């Protein structure tokens, strides 16, 4: 299970990319134990204040605020995103970018905060984000979360460009990617955007574009069927209970949970790599 990440894995693969605090709060425990507690919260969905502190820190006088302080500080500094980009760069050869899947996801938000709006489809306040995966459904990029009253095509080109920029930061180039996406992404502007970047768009035709019924863009049905891996991706993400329902009020803390989850998913699926 993810909650039992070893000290060796954490010190070699996570801590090197997280800012080491030299001023301010001083703690009496190794940072790798702080990471274990953060992962527990991500996996279990437990509230920060309900973390089982003795499980991770024994009889040391460490309180939950200390764990959250470090998580939040690392989030503000962009350390979790830096961790993911570097991990993706180091092991990009183990991913299959011949086909990528693009999908959107609405998450119910119970506490309010940044990037939250009412979604008619969900009949409640949600946050919407786009996810990009490789051929096998491993998540590789995420757009900045938006208020749930916006549909998937809202500022689509801008959101896609931000994800491409993150891939480029990991030394991954977008040219030649075969991109599967459902009808929600069927806009002429997005198809033109993909063409400009040498991305082969394989987007389902949106039947609401009635005037184009006799002039539908080509779609490779066999390749499109590979979108089933999105369901597996969703199952992987749902295994992290803190991602099923949004309680984080800040965008940076909400998105950072995803970057940590991406890292753990990829680490678990890598061949001959024992994480647990």
Reduce the secondary structure of the chain to three states and give it as a string. Answer: CHHHCCHHHHHHHCHHHCCCCCCCCCCCCCHHHHHHHHHHHHHHCCCHHHCCHHHHHCCCCCCHHHHHHHHHHHHHCCHHHHHHHHHHHHCHHHCCCCEEEEEEEEEEECCCCCCCEEECCCCEEEEEEEEEECCCCCEEEECCCEECCCCCCCCHHHHHHHHHHHHHHCCCCCCCCEEEECHHHCCHHHHHHHHHCCCEEEECCCCCCHHHCCCCCCCCHHHHHHHHHHHHHHHHHHCCHHHHCECCCCHHHHHHHHHHHHHHHHHHHCCCCCCC
Q: What is the mean pLDDT of residues 247-267?
A: 95
Residue 24's pLDDT is: 54
**Is the Cβ–Cβ distance between 124 and 108 less than 8 Å?**
yes
CA nearest to 39, candidates 96, 77, 1, 81: 1
| Two tokens, residue 90 | 């180091």
Q: Where in the chain is the domain with CATH 3.30.420?
A: 95-243
* Out of 108-112, 168-172, 203-207, 272-276, least confident range: 272-276
* Residue 66 to residue 167: CA distance in whole angstroms: 32
| Fold (topology level) of 95-243 | Nucleotidyltransferase; domain 5 (3.30.420)
Q: What is the share, in percent, of the chain residues with pLDDT greater than 70? A: 91
Confidence of residue 273 (pLDDT cuts 50, 70, 90): very low
The number of C-alpha atoms within 13 Å of 220 and in the hemisphere containing its C-beta is 11
Confidence of residue 120 (pLDDT cuts 50, 70, 90): confident
Residue 180's pLDDT is: 96
- pTM, 2 dp: 0.91
Residue carrying structure tokens 């977008």: 174
Q: Counting Cβ atoms within 10 Å, is residue 269 exposed (0-12), middle (13-18) or buried (19+)?
A: middle
Q: What rounded mean pLDDT belongs to the chain?
A: 89
Residue 215's pLDDT is: 63
* Residue 50 to residue 77: CA distance in whole angstroms: 25
CA nearest to 71, candidates 122, 120, 37, 115: 37
The conformational region for residue 171 under phi > 0 = left, psi -120 to 50 = alpha, else beta, is left
Pairing of strands 178-181, 200-203: parallel
Q: 148-180: per-residue pLDDT in tens?
A: 888 888 999 999 999 999 999 999 999 999 999
Q: 26-77: per-residue pLDDT in tens?
A: 567 789 999 999 999 999 999 999 999 999 998 888 899 999 999 999 999 9
pLDDT at 275 over 50: no
């Amino acid at each position: 299970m993810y909650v039992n990440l070893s000290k060796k894995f954490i010190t070699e693969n996570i801590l090197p990319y997280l800012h080491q605090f030299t001023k301010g709060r001083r703690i009496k425990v190794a940072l790798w134990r702080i990471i274990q507690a953060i992962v527990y919260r991500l996996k279990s969905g437990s509230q920060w204040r309900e973390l089982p502190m003795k499980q991770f820190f024994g009889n040391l006088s460490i309180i939950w605020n200390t764990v959250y302080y470090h998580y939040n500080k690392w989030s503000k500094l962009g350390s979790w995103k830096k961790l993911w980009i570097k991990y993706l760069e180091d092991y990009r050869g183990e991913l299959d970018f011949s086909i990528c899947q693009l999908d959107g996801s609405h998450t119910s938000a119970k506490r309010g905060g940044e990037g939250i709006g009412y979604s008619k489809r969900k009949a409640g306040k949600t946050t919407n984000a786009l996810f990009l995966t490789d051929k096998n459904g491993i998540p590789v990029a995420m757009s900045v979360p938006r208020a749930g009253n916006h549909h998937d095509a809202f500022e689509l080109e801008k959101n896609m460009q931000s994800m491409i920029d993150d891939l480029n930061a990991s030394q991954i180039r977008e040219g030649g990617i075969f991109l599967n996406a459902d009808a929600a992404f069927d806009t002429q502007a997005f198809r033109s955007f993909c063409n400009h970047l040498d991305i082969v768009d394989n987007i389902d035709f949106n039947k609401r574009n009635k005037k184009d019924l006799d002039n539908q863009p080509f779609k490779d049905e066999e390749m499109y069927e590979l979108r089933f891996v999105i369901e597996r991706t969703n199952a992987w993400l749902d295994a992290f209970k803190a991602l099923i329902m949004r309680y984080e009020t800040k965008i940076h803390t909400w998105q950072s949970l995803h970057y940590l989850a991406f890292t753990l998913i990829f680490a678990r699926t890598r061949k001959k790599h024992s994480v647990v």
